[in-house]
Structure 1
Amino acid sequence: MGRARRARKIAARAAFGGGLGAAGLAVGGLGTWGLLRGEAAVARRLVGNPFDGEPDDDGVYGAGPGESLQMLVVGDSTAKGLGVDDPRQTVGAIIATAVAALAGRSVQLTNLAVVGAASADLGQQVEHALERVPHPDITVIMVGANDITQRVSRTEAVRHLSAAVFTLREAGSPVVVGTCPDLGVIEPVPQPLRLLARRWSRDLAAAQTVAVIEQGGRTVSLGDLLGPEFQETPKVMFSADRFHPSAAGYARAASALLPSVLDALGHSSADTGRAPDLRRGEGIGPVSVAATRAVRDPGTEVSGTAYDGDEHGRQGRWAILLRRHRTPIPRQGASDEVEQPPPAVDEPLP
């Protein structure tokens, strides 16, 4: 079964209460599973927990006339910024600072993310966040890694994420979700667990995208965003535990999310407010196919759209795929399974 089809099935089960299923695919019996559990335990010991605490990045960033823009951040340890000492180095703080500079208004950041959180914890985080900020201007969610490491059902994980996005959209907040990172790039994780972790991570990220778009949010693929840099300069891109990003790693993630945040807020930058560019491998297609392509290309945004007055095609919800990174390299076969609309996709979208 292709990843696009798996993503559709996982998201559909999450929406309609279907059966749960394991977080990973079948791995060859109890003996293999026992081996993987043992390797996972070794990886946890190697990663350890060298940090005394997590940064508190709540506060006002930037300055300008008028009321502050209200920004929420929810999710797991990457959303919280575990691994850095300076609160200004978290993903939320970096995005808030940039938004304030480009929008000419201060940004009030409220971060309710929790270290160790999985998707099931999003409901409580969102509830508390909306008690503090009833009408956020923008919400950023980063979640998924702990669903993989805790072997949570992908269907269950997607259901909780979908519910969180729905609640936030009902409160009037645009939502940008950084999908599950590719755990296959984490050096302390041994093989074959690393290979399976990559497959599970990518499947979850694709299913997250399908569900988020259905609820009116948008996603940015984080995937193996730090993978090449980790191989070349692991001490620069990752923190002391070799699992969480360093300040440089968080800055890279923030740079991938920022254009989507700006676009959701209605503010322009060098890469917002434009139509898909066929030369960059962008376009319109079913969300499940766009999600699968985004997984392979970190920094790619997927958002919902209508085509020719219709939000759905034969394979599901229409979505726009935009490669937000600076030098996108279209991959061979990237358009496999895409239901192609008429070719004028490089014209202004509806």
Structure 2
Amino acid sequence: MPRTRGLLVVAALAAGSVGGLSGAAYTLLNTQSRRARTLIGVPRDAPFNADGDYFPDGSGPAPLGAAGAAVEFGVFGDSSAAGLGAETPDLLPGVLLARGLAEECDRAVRLRTYAVSGSRTTGLVAQVDRALAAPPAVALILVGGNDVTARLAISTSAALLATQVRRLTEAGTAVVVGTCPDLGAIQPIPQPLRSVARKWSLALGRAQARALVATSAAVVPMTLLSRHFLTRPGELFSSDRFHPNGAGYALAAGLLLPALCGATGTPR
């Protein structure tokens, strides 16, 4: 999910650049953006980190390398990949997926998190640079929400993502990408600003999927979760009402795990 500071004043400007906004409409959107920032607030804590080795019996994390041979699993992207909003380390999406992979593969899984809260797709370059020193066997990428607030052109964002995916796959890494989530599910963003956010984020998700067709990455539309977050916000969002909580990340992990199992050659 994107950073809240400056939230969707940018989207209002983007909407204006596409269809034109009257002075009154722009003032309304700008006012609503300030209100959304006030309601959501700014995250004060960094996500937990629980990198390490996870085992088929559900145990872990053990220190990195403790298991000897293990499936190397790298997580890349923004706060939704890093797990901002999870109440405990056990509820981080990377941890949930590492445990699920270990059980399904019947092998130890070594989790390394490269994701950085607040990252845009441009930030994947540095994350992939770090990972290529010892490429993981399988990688998950969740990114895109911050590109909306940063006014990064949709075509540019999607092309950047495809380039970083190719860098990983050319190094022998199997890649799974979760597309940009539906920002219209974030209810503290008032209407009509939320509709602008929804339109932009859905367009980016579609562009990401199109850009990845020519790669070997498996693509998972995170918009499949939209109805759950729209109808059960109190259960699935963290206290900031913006990032998922542990239950929200568990729902996302359930959607992503089959693709990750497929990427490792483990049918599920």
Q: 2: distance between equivalents of 1:23 and 1:265?
A: 39
Q: 2: distance between equivalents of 1:143 and 1:33?
A: 28
Query: Which secondary structure state, in structure 2, belongs to the residue aligned with residue 243 of structure 1?
Result: coil
- TM-fit CA distance, 1:28: 2.3
- TM-fit CA distance, 1:50: 4.7
**Residue in 1 aligned with 2:61?**
none
- TM-fit CA distance, 1:148: 1.2
Q: Which structure features the higher share of helix residues?
A: 2
Q: 1: distance between equivalents of 2:202 and 2:220?
A: 13
- TM-fit CA distance, 1:236: 1.5
Residue 18 of structure 2, aligned match among 20, 26, 33: 26
**Residue in 1 aligned with 2:8?**
none
1:218 aligns with 2:218: yes
- Per the normalisation by structure 1, the TM-score is 0.66
CA contact (8 A) 1:51 1:83 kept: no
* Cα-Cα RMSD: 1.9
Question: Per chain length, whose mean CA-contact separation is higher, i.e. which structure has more relative contact order (CA < 8 Å, sep 6+)?
Answer: 2
**Residue in 2 aligned with 1:208?**
208
1:261 aligns with 2:254: no
Query: Runs of 5+ in structure 1 lacking a partner?
Result: 1-21, 270-350
Q: 1: distance between equivalents of 2:229 and 2:34?
A: 26
CA contact (8 A) 1:185 1:224 kept: no
Q: 1: distance between equivalents of 2:30 and 2:112?
A: 37
- TM-fit CA distance, 1:243: 0.6
Number of aligned residue pairs: give it. 245
- TM-fit CA distance, 1:23: 5.5
- TM-fit CA distance, 1:227: 3.2
1:152 aligns with 2:145: no
Query: Which secondary structure state, in structure 2, belongs to the residue aligned with residue 71 of structure 1?
Result: strand
Give the % identical residues.
40
Letter in 1 for 2:225: L
Which has more radius of gyration? 1
Distance verdict in 2 for CA 1:224–1:33, change over 3 Å: farther
**Residue in 2 aligned with 1:37?**
30
**Residue in 2 aligned with 1:172?**
172
Q: 2: distance between equivalents of 1:164 and 1:204?
A: 16
Query: Which secondary structure state, in structure 1, belongs to the residue aligned with residue 132 of structure 2?
Result: helix
CA contact (8 A) 1:23 1:154 kept: no
- Per the normalisation by structure 2, the TM-score is 0.85
Distance verdict in 2 for CA 1:157–1:34, change over 3 Å: farther
Query: Which secondary structure state, in structure 2, belongs to the residue aligned with residue 225 of structure 1?
Result: helix
- TM-fit CA distance, 1:135: 2.8
Deviations 1:167-189 (A, max 9, x none): 00111111100000001111111
- TM-fit CA distance, 1:191: 0.9
Distance verdict in 2 for CA 1:147–1:45, change over 3 Å: same
Residue 56 of structure 1, aligned match among 40, 49, 58: 49
**Residue in 1 aligned with 2:250?**
251
Q: Give the stretch that moved more between structures: 159-168 or 65-74.
A: 65-74
Letter in 1 for 2:169: R
